[in-house]
Structure 1
Amino acid sequence: MALRFLRRPLLYLLILSPVLAYRRSSNSSASRSLPYSSYELSGLTQGTVPEKCPPCFNCKLPVFACGQYGECNEYDGQCKCPAGWGGIDCLIPQCDSLADGDQRRLREEGKACECKEGWGGINCNVCQTNQACANFPLAGGPENLDDEIDPEDMRCYTGGETVFNNHQMCNVTNRKIIDQVGAHRPVQVTFSCETARDTCQFQFWVDQKESFYCALDQCSSKSSNEYSTNGTTYDCEHIKCNCIPGRFICGEDGSVNIDDFLREEIKGPAKFSCKSGAGCRFEEPAMNELISDIFGDPYITLNCDGGECLHFSQVPGFVRPPKPDNTKWMALSAAGVGIIILISSASLWYAGRASGGEFGQIRLPDDEQARLMNDHVPATLHFSNISYTLGSRVLLDNISGTVKPGQVCAIMGASGAGKSTFLDILARKAKRGTVSGTTYVNGREVANDQFKAVTGFVDQEDTLMSTLTVYETVLYSALLRLPRDMSLEAKKFRTLETMNELGILGIKDSRIGGVGHRSISGGEKRRVSIACELVTSPSILFLDEPTSGLDAYNAFNVVESLVSLARDYNRTVLFTIHQPRSNIVALFDQLILLASGKLVYAGEFSKCQAYFSDIGQPCPPGFNIADFFIDLTMHASLDERMSHDISPTLEPESPHEDLTNLGDEERGLLRQAPLPLSVRSRGSTSPDLEETELQTRANSNAGVNYIKRKTSQLLEAVSLSSSGKKVTNAPLPPKLAALVDAYAESGIAKGIKEEGEALRRATTGGLPDVAVETTLLRGRKRAGYGTQFRILSGRAFKNLYRDPALLAAHYLSSIALALICGLFFHNVTNDISGFQNRLGLFFFTLALFGFSCLSSLGLFANERILFIRERANGYYSTVTYFASKVLFDILPLRVVPPIMFGAIVYPLVGLVPAVVSFWKFMLILVLFNLTTAMVVLFLSIAIASTSVAGLAGTLVMLFNLMFTGLLINRDSVPAAFRWLHTVSFFHAAFEALAVNELRYLHLTETKYGVELDVPAAVILSTFGLHAQSFWWPNTALLGIFFTVLTAASYLTLQLFVKEKR
């Protein structure tokens, strides 16, 4: 024993020594072996005697031995070699085929065997085809079968189990062994067993040269047939091994020799085992220890091909074991995931509910209530020569004015005068046309991002989320836009305070409502929109038609609250308004009056009545001055048609001017020349009694004249529209030109100009820089990315569960269709029809989830305008909105339904009952659903029209469905178009599902009394599907598609979905 443990470290040192001669002399064949080699003595078998005859080979003498532990004939001292071996000492491989028996040729020295067709292996012992066994001697003796054997009844059995004499050819797959020997010198093993003697043979080869051989006895074999894999194991009690002197690791070129180790330590027991899909391995305790210590592997690993020629009746019958019942484990694992999803959903619901529900009494720190209202920089807004052109048309022309802190400025004019367009320009909204002129804040030009940080804008149209309450809507605006260092209690208090100012505190718990689900009135929605901007108490506030849709009382309350905000907290407020009541007009501080894009008046409201009296346009006593201004500007604009018989100037349609996307205000500005339906007919000299409230009808024929005028207008409108021409900028009507010129020459206009110059001169020592000082005073740091994501996620989750129709439809349809599929595909069989049913199930499942994802089109389309306006107003960044949208809108609709569907359909159909396969199935369904959801989300973001996006989504799904792999065989597609299968996410999912289910499945089909046992992988390849492609490329491709489409959707949202007014 002491010698044994002393020898092994020396052996390791020799093997690992850099002086491994076999790596430097791989082509040498030196021999320090027996006195005479088999190649020398083999000449004796050919009948040729050399001049100096060596001593005759006699295996009974100690100096000679039979290789491969062949039998030594006690009568003549010659070796009886195992099949596949020849030569005097059984050390020379035989070629040709095992079927040739004693007629086989010996392998020539230095060459490899050329086996006959259908045979393989180093010594051609392994059959490969049934035809190769046609003339093979029948194994098992004639007592088992008749003498007359049809050659076509012979089979090459490759199942691995030994029936009589089985031969296997193996490649060693241990990475370290291959690296040590060299990849150019293959390391191989031959293994054969004989059941009659319970013995096996093992040979180790390097570069097709045998290094050592082993004999194993008292061997037993067993096969294990599991549902998805088969295995064969050989257990041998004893093993003995011997080196071939002068070969690799047996003394070649003076290198290491493990002969003593093999003879003295390799004793057994030994084990040779193979498993389908996992390869083979050879194990023996001492050899395992050697392999582990030197190469780091627990045993020798092999990749083997075996074969044995048998009559078809001798082929071992394969009786498939019943499917293992893993339903319980699959159900438990699915239930565990379901519980996790429910707990997560409940937690998110509770968090969302807590963030927007009742908050009880609000307690503020000292003086924090007034902090936001008082800590600000007053802002004087001065605008000079503001003009706006669209194509060749001037829609606004040289508008100037000044609004100071504490003042309310009303922008008035008839419909189409340019009020909203002018307000958009002042608020720095992106416009389609060209803007010129300068805007100053406290005498300084301010960058757009700084300007928007101290301003608020209320659009004319309400864009509110219908599922939120009034309080939640305003609170979300406060949480996202108020300074981050302001306490939560102060933000809540400011929310309630703003709602109280606008008279909507009583409806704070009412939902906004939408089409078909009305909750609050249109006027109340208007006040909610205003509250979302008022809650931040901006230095400058712009409002487009804040009283639109409100009754007189509520309109007065809104304007009064704006006036209170301006005067009490020194804010600057500008808004457009149309025909206000006299009590509202009395609240104005500044007035800007526009007509056809021209400035008719800009200045203090208290001076406007006197100014118009001075220029000969006095307001009648008792008349609402706002109505007077509208009538005055309208009559001035239409004066040309009333006074002159002048045709409108026409020009051909310009291909560069697309007016189809103009807003109503901008379309109205194009009516500078008298438009047919809003002016008098040509040649009419009497006033149009419909256009004014200051004149009365002149004669009793007014009704007849009215009909004539309207008929003439209609005919002229048809003529203009059919001519393909449009009206260009015509000269101003004389009365309008007189009004514009009178103001431009007035002292009020000159005073505004001088005031603007004074503001610019006072920047160094006068008014503060509103952008810089606001930043220093409060930081104006709005909610960070984390806070934005949390708030938007809560809002998205509320929107989802408060409108549960879509969510319920997806969940219920998944359950119902899973039960239907379980009914029709129940317990699929392992035959050709079962193969077809499995592929049909997978195809239907993918089609179901692919087309159901089209419902995601509305998720973003319904919020497109809301997102555009909220982002433009600085609520949040694109990335936080997109992330919350994906996580809390997409995931509940695209992750939970496939899990519910799979958990039901998998056991009902009877797919592979293995937990790993079950979760692979789930993984592919979820990945596919997420990928299709991202395709649809990308289309809904990139295409503004929901109907067009729906059509595009349908076409994309159908195109991908065509290349799934079931409708068109991949191998039949021309090579130039096979990439279409690669880019089809339907194909990636379909192939992955098919491989996961069918890769190791064996199909048994009985036709005309003949039972066929075919691996399902063979049929998969016939369909053009690859049995090794589950993880790569299919699963990886689904992940790549999802990632790329998510990134594309975000970039499209960030770069192309922008406000353009």
Structure 2
Amino acid sequence: MSSSNSSNNNNNNSAFKLASNLTLYQPECPYGLTGNGCEHASCNSTYVTAAQRVQRSDTTLCTACPDGWGGNLNCNICQRADACQLQQRATGRGRSSSSSSSTTSAATSSLSGGGISSSLALAANDTAVCVNTPRAISTTNVQCDMNQTTLTGIFQGNFQLSAIKTAGVSNATEFNTVGLAPYNAENGTTTTQVWFNGVLQWGCQATNCSSFNSTDPADAPSGRKGIVTDVWKCSTLNCVCIPGSTVCGSGPFDLTNTIQDLDGETTFACEYPSDQAAAARADMQCRFSGPSFATALGPGGLPLIHCQAGACVTQDELTNLWTNGGTTTGASSDGMGLSGGVIAGLSVLGVVVATILATILAGLLLRRRAANRPRDPPTAAVGLAWSNIHYSFRPAAAASLIPARGKGDTRKKIADRNAASSNSNGNGSSRNSEEKESHELRIAMADGGRGNIAETAHAGHILRDVSGEIHPGSMLAILGPSGAGKTSLVDILAGRSKVGTISGTLTFTPDVGVATSSNHAADRMVAFVDQEDVLPAFSTVREALQLAAQLSLPENVPRHERHEIVNRVLLKLGLDGIAERRIGDAHRRGVSGGEKRRISIGIALVGQPKVLIMDEPLSGLDAVNAQRVVQALRELANGPETGTTVIMTVHQPSSQIYDAFDRVMLLAQGRVLFDGAPHDAPAWLEARGEPLPANHNPADHLLSAAFGDMGSGSSDIDAHSSPGVMNTLISPYRNRKPLASLSTQVGSLASRAFQASYRDPSGALAHILGALIIGLITGGAFYKVNLTIAGFQNRVGSIFFLLLLLAFSALSAMTGLNRARPLVVRERGNGLYSAFSWLLSHLLYDLVMLRLIPTIILTIIIYFMVGLTDSAGVFFRFFLIAVLFNLATTLYFMSLAAFFEDMSIPTLLAGLAILFQLGFGGFLLNLNSVPGVLRWIKWICPLRYALEAMATIQLPGLRIIDIVNGVPINAPVSVIAPNLFGFAVESYYRDLLVLALAFTLGFFLLLVGAVTWRMREVR
């Protein structure tokens, strides 16, 4: 008794929340309730107003009810035909007619069991009669014992339920005519109260309700013949759990969230025999069910036994009910609507699919339009002139770039050589050693390997007022010792992105303007061949040239013409014999180094440039092949009509190659020493006092003269001096935008990626076989988990382990992107494609071959070996989350690899990200127990959303059957999961949208920015 009274006292204030949140409980309490917050039961009939009701003296049952009325919880159930009339007379409410009593009694006796007599049509009036079926005619009261094993197993005691179903009531008419006490009754509504040991625990209201009935026919299976099923369906539900009550705070489990999460469609169904009045009155079986009940309490919902029902209605209402065939209409709900989460998810999916289809269609249309564009007429050869080219940058930047741009560590080589010299010479002249080291370091920094770094930490000038010109259709050779600035000059002439300050002027001769046509914009007239060969290892020679032709020629060049261009280039460069051989790389045998040089030249030539600029194109070639390449270039540079202008740096040409050029430019310390025809060189050397010896290669003597000029310092300029005017470079070049359409770029690059995967399937096979093997091991470890508490933890653990496997497998995305970086940077620099098109093609390959297929294998094996919910719908929703999580993690790891070229940094950051998700994913650490200052971290943890979404869709219908300390437990996991893991029930679609939009889309945009900004050529 004291315990119950204590609970009552605790509820006195908190029950106001019940009345304030549920509109049907105010301003007057519904029948059977009293108190300021409608928190106590009363033992008055439904004819007594709220202000006159008396709180039940016994905490568990009503010991005395008005004559003809009953019910343990309250006295709401009329139990005799004349019970309503007795209360009408006792309370002075309604319009009772004694003359109709006999008729009423006879009519009601035929109704009390559920049947409806046709004699009612002859006795129709407004006299109140008692009906004991649960059918909602006007205002029907129901009272039941609860038979929910979960609740009775957790809370030792008795649960009871009282409910009021309202249909077709009019406050102005019904209460005045029948005499019922008024309250905020609305058509198609339900108020429900749940009691534990006589104390109110929670209350609910449902709206938008309607009813229908059915009766099993005579030929129904045994036990079902004549059984009436009364269904009361409502589309919305709202519940309030009273704080401090046993169920909602003071008991062994706090079910506040579980109770208050009950919402959505709800069905209140009762069954009773149609021909047994006693059974209908005293032992009906009912059930509350619906999606939220299934989630919270299992598929059985809330079963109710020993149900009683009673309603005071007029005979007119009974007649109308009989006339309408026993169907009460109200605001109906067919139960076929979609929830807001489903609609949101389908909407997002529809938008994504529509966007993809629209993008593909737009790409095809643009490609078709470009292919139908009229061809431009052939144009004459174009020359190039440059004047007052000056290039410099801060010495600090020069020093920092040495390791990245040089071939090896030049400083270490020099230091080792000096150390050896010091050991051999003892205390020799250290000054001479330092001067030698400084000179060699200056040379290495100026042109070492690529020659595009500052000269020394003390001198940041690379090119000083360099001017020159090459006539259309002719060949220019740029000579000079290492450190002369040759590579820097050709980089600038080719319009490559450079670090530092560049000033001067570049113009085409004749002046063609910025763009003469769509096919020959100024920035597409020039092709560049770098000193180092970066080629697709798994493509054949022909395929590499065909891809270059596809991307560097306008869309309106027919396919057969592209093939002809490729064949001509193969023949000119002597590559026709190895056209079907794979190129290879340092790890895979392919073509030779000299052949790679010619392939790089061929890739530039298939674009049919007007100006071809090359940096050391003859390096790595023997004398015969070098002569063959020069001869091919000589045939290209065949005059001002249709020839190609060729500019190339040459390190040490033979005399035959030297004589093949139309013009020679000699550089030393970034300045022009000689610029003229090859046959003018002897006279220039003679004038310098360095005559050319007989039968001596002029190129060798020119280099010797230039090296002597660098060593003598006769040409030195103050290291910190500047030219008279330091303007930015005036150039006809624009951003090198691809000529091919986006669809062509993506299709060509994706084809190359899948072709490489076919020729080297080790990567894809490793992912697929790894998923198969690891899936079998994991599935075996968690095989067919049981329904105990430990089994439920293992069930969630298997999902957690699956997500971890997907996260770790995504690490390979970093190495794949990093391996592609050199080729992407080179081809983007050549203007073959955009960063976005490459990224789409890379993702298309990576996500299909390395993510989607392994995820399918891993998910199927683990899902069915563990024994998760056997439902196709649940499985596909589960799989969708797995794919989204893997995709989001992959995109994040790719972003790290794109931002940082040094793989040690993204590897470290990726490991920290996985460790971070281990802690805040929701499995190892109960997120509800995390201190508030750190609890926000869970909202930025993708694994947490994935785990919650995948686990919660396993909860409906899943029960825990276990024995703890000798106490049997049979409870739905929805009761335990929120407290054990901090999962929010019914959170699937929220988590889906967060994974899809916040993480997947967010990381994709981050990756696009990283690839665009970081994976580009800057020299």
Equivalent residue number for residue 384 of structure 1:
387
Counterpart pick for 2:903 among 931, 946, 960: 946
Counterpart pick for 2:300 among 230, 233, 237: 230
Residue 968 of structure 2 aligns with an amino acid whose one-letter code is E
The CA deviation at 1:854 is 0.7
For residues 37 and 639 of structure 1, the distance between their equivalents in structure 2, rounded to whole angstroms, comes to 117
Equivalent residue number for residue 108 of structure 1:
none
Preserved contact between residue 385 and residue 398 of structure 1 (Cα < 8 Å): yes
Counting only pairs closer than 5 Å after superposition, residues 747-896 of structure 1 correspond to structure 2 as: 782-896=739-853
Any idea what the Cα deviations from partners look like across 1:891-938, whole Å, max 9, x if unmatched?
A: 321111111111122221111111111112211111111111001111
Counterpart pick for 2:1002 among 1041, 1044, 1048: 1044
Larger Rg: 1
Residue 792 of structure 1 aligns with an amino acid whose one-letter code is L
Counterpart pick for 1:287 among 302, 308, 327: 327
Counting only pairs closer than 5 Å after superposition, residues 992-1031 of structure 1 correspond to structure 2 as: 992-1031=949-988
Equivalent residue number for residue 146 of structure 1:
none
The CA deviation at 1:869 is 2.1
Residue 831 of structure 2 aligns with an amino acid whose one-letter code is G
Return closer, same or farther for 1:771/1:909 CA change in 2, 3 Å cut-off. Answer: closer
Return closer, same or farther for 1:457/1:898 CA change in 2, 3 Å cut-off. Answer: same
Counting only pairs closer than 5 Å after superposition, residues 431-580 of structure 1 correspond to structure 2 as: 431-442=498-509, 444=511, 447=514, 450-567=521-638, 569-580=642-653
For structure 2, list consecutive stretches of 5 or more residues without a partner in the other structure. 1-22, 30-44, 56-65, 70-74, 96-138, 168-182, 195-222, 240-269, 275-279, 338-373, 395-458, 723-729
Q: Identity of paired residues, percent?
A: 29
Preserved contact between residue 477 and residue 650 of structure 2 (Cα < 8 Å): yes
Secondary structure at the counterpart of residue 385 of structure 1? strand
Residue 1059 of structure 1 aligns with an amino acid whose one-letter code is E
For residues 73 and 296 of structure 1, the distance between their equivalents in structure 2, rounded to whole angstroms, comes to 33
For residues 41 and 786 of structure 1, the distance between their equivalents in structure 2, rounded to whole angstroms, comes to 74
The CA deviation at 1:72 is 5.4
For residues 974 and 919 of structure 1, the distance between their equivalents in structure 2, rounded to whole angstroms, comes to 36
Residue 158 of structure 2 aligns with an amino acid whose one-letter code is C
Secondary structure at the counterpart of residue 440 of structure 1? strand
Any idea what the Cα deviations from partners look like across 1:296-323, whole Å, max 9, x if unmatched?
A: 534999xxxxxxxxxxxxxxxxxxxxxx
For residues 675 and 28 of structure 2, the distance between their equivalents in structure 1, rounded to whole angstroms, comes to 107
Secondary structure at the counterpart of residue 230 of structure 1? coil
The CA deviation at 1:814 is 0.7
The CA deviation at 1:122 is 12
Return closer, same or farther for 1:903/1:481 CA change in 2, 3 Å cut-off. Answer: same
The CA deviation at 1:807 is 0.8
Any idea what the Cα deviations from partners look like across 1:26-49, whole Å, max 9, x if unmatched?
A: 9899xxxxxx99559999999xxx
Counterpart pick for 1:614 among 659, 674, 687: 687
Return closer, same or farther for 1:936/1:1015 CA change in 2, 3 Å cut-off. Answer: same
Secondary structure at the counterpart of residue 862 of structure 1? helix
Any idea what the Cα deviations from partners look like across 1:521-550, whole Å, max 9, x if unmatched?
A: 111111111100011121011001001111
Any idea what the Cα deviations from partners look like across 1:783-807, whole Å, max 9, x if unmatched?
A: 2111112111111211223221111
For residues 709 and 142 of structure 2, the distance between their equivalents in structure 1, rounded to whole angstroms, comes to 110
For residues 486 and 798 of structure 2, the distance between their equivalents in structure 1, rounded to whole angstroms, comes to 61
Residue 514 of structure 1 aligns with an amino acid whose one-letter code is D
For structure 1, list consecutive stretches of 5 or more residues without a partner in the other structure. 1-22, 30-35, 47-56, 61-65, 92-120, 135-150, 159-165, 173-180, 209-213, 245-258, 269-283, 302-367, 642-670, 674-727, 733-759, 761-768, 773-779
Return closer, same or farther for 1:1001/1:89 CA change in 2, 3 Å cut-off. Answer: farther
Return closer, same or farther for 1:169/1:578 CA change in 2, 3 Å cut-off. Answer: farther
Deviates more, 1:593-602 or 1:842-851: 842-851
Equivalent residue number for residue 71 of structure 1:
80
Any idea what the Cα deviations from partners look like across 1:547-600, whole Å, max 9, x if unmatched?
A: 111111111111111111111641111010100111111101111100111110
Residue 526 of structure 1 aligns with an amino acid whose one-letter code is R
**Is 2:1018 the counterpart of 1:1060?**
yes
For residues 750 and 238 of structure 2, the distance between their equivalents in structure 1, rounded to whole angstroms, comes to 65
Equivalent residue number for residue 422 of structure 1:
489
Secondary structure at the counterpart of residue 381 of structure 1? strand
**Is 2:463 the counterpart of 1:401?**
no
Equivalent residue number for residue 659 of structure 2:
586
The CA deviation at 1:58 is 11
Any idea what the Cα deviations from partners look like across 1:161-202, whole Å, max 9, x if unmatched?
A: xxxxx6446799xxxxxxxx999999324699xx9x999999
Secondary structure at the counterpart of residue 997 of structure 1? coil
For residues 787 and 541 of structure 1, the distance between their equivalents in structure 2, rounded to whole angstroms, comes to 25
**Is 2:992 the counterpart of 1:1035?**
yes
Preserved contact between residue 522 and residue 549 of structure 1 (Cα < 8 Å): yes
For residues 429 and 1030 of structure 1, the distance between their equivalents in structure 2, rounded to whole angstroms, comes to 52
Equivalent residue number for residue 266 of structure 1:
321
Residue 474 of structure 1 aligns with an amino acid whose one-letter code is L
Residue 297 of structure 1 aligns with an amino acid whose one-letter code is S
For residues 154 and 774 of structure 2, the distance between their equivalents in structure 1, rounded to whole angstroms, comes to 50
The CA deviation at 1:985 is 0.6
Preserved contact between residue 190 and residue 204 of structure 1 (Cα < 8 Å): no
Equivalent residue number for residue 261 of structure 2:
none
For residues 393 and 222 of structure 1, the distance between their equivalents in structure 2, rounded to whole angstroms, comes to 91
Counterpart pick for 1:413 among 472, 480, 484: 480
Secondary structure at the counterpart of residue 287 of structure 1? coil
Equivalent residue number for residue 745 of structure 1:
none
For residues 904 and 45 of structure 1, the distance between their equivalents in structure 2, rounded to whole angstroms, comes to 63
For residues 45 and 962 of structure 1, the distance between their equivalents in structure 2, rounded to whole angstroms, comes to 55
The CA deviation at 1:606 is 2.4
Preserved contact between residue 937 and residue 1049 of structure 1 (Cα < 8 Å): yes
For residues 558 and 53 of structure 2, the distance between their equivalents in structure 1, rounded to whole angstroms, comes to 106
Return closer, same or farther for 1:484/1:216 CA change in 2, 3 Å cut-off. Answer: same
Preserved contact between residue 68 and residue 78 of structure 2 (Cα < 8 Å): no
Return closer, same or farther for 1:797/1:204 CA change in 2, 3 Å cut-off. Answer: closer
Residue 604 of structure 1 aligns with an amino acid whose one-letter code is A
Preserved contact between residue 484 and residue 781 of structure 1 (Cα < 8 Å): no
For residues 884 and 447 of structure 1, the distance between their equivalents in structure 2, rounded to whole angstroms, comes to 31
For residues 184 and 576 of structure 2, the distance between their equivalents in structure 1, rounded to whole angstroms, comes to 84
**Is 2:647 the counterpart of 1:638?**
no
The CA deviation at 1:973 is 1.4
Residue 386 of structure 1 aligns with an amino acid whose one-letter code is I
Preserved contact between residue 610 and residue 645 of structure 2 (Cα < 8 Å): yes
Secondary structure at the counterpart of residue 510 of structure 1? coil
For residues 167 and 1010 of structure 1, the distance between their equivalents in structure 2, rounded to whole angstroms, comes to 29
Secondary structure at the counterpart of residue 830 of structure 1? coil
Return closer, same or farther for 1:588/1:1006 CA change in 2, 3 Å cut-off. Answer: same
Equivalent residue number for residue 868 of structure 2:
911
Return closer, same or farther for 1:379/1:1010 CA change in 2, 3 Å cut-off. Answer: same
The CA deviation at 1:612 is 2.0
For residues 865 and 914 of structure 1, the distance between their equivalents in structure 2, rounded to whole angstroms, comes to 47
The CA deviation at 1:125 is 6.3
The CA deviation at 1:1028 is 2.2
For residues 152 and 500 of structure 1, the distance between their equivalents in structure 2, rounded to whole angstroms, comes to 86
For residues 951 and 831 of structure 2, the distance between their equivalents in structure 1, rounded to whole angstroms, comes to 49
For residues 848 and 123 of structure 1, the distance between their equivalents in structure 2, rounded to whole angstroms, comes to 56
**Is 2:716 the counterpart of 1:729?**
no
Secondary structure at the counterpart of residue 844 of structure 1? helix
Equivalent residue number for residue 889 of structure 2:
932
**Is 2:940 the counterpart of 1:983?**
yes
Return closer, same or farther for 1:928/1:171 CA change in 2, 3 Å cut-off. Answer: farther
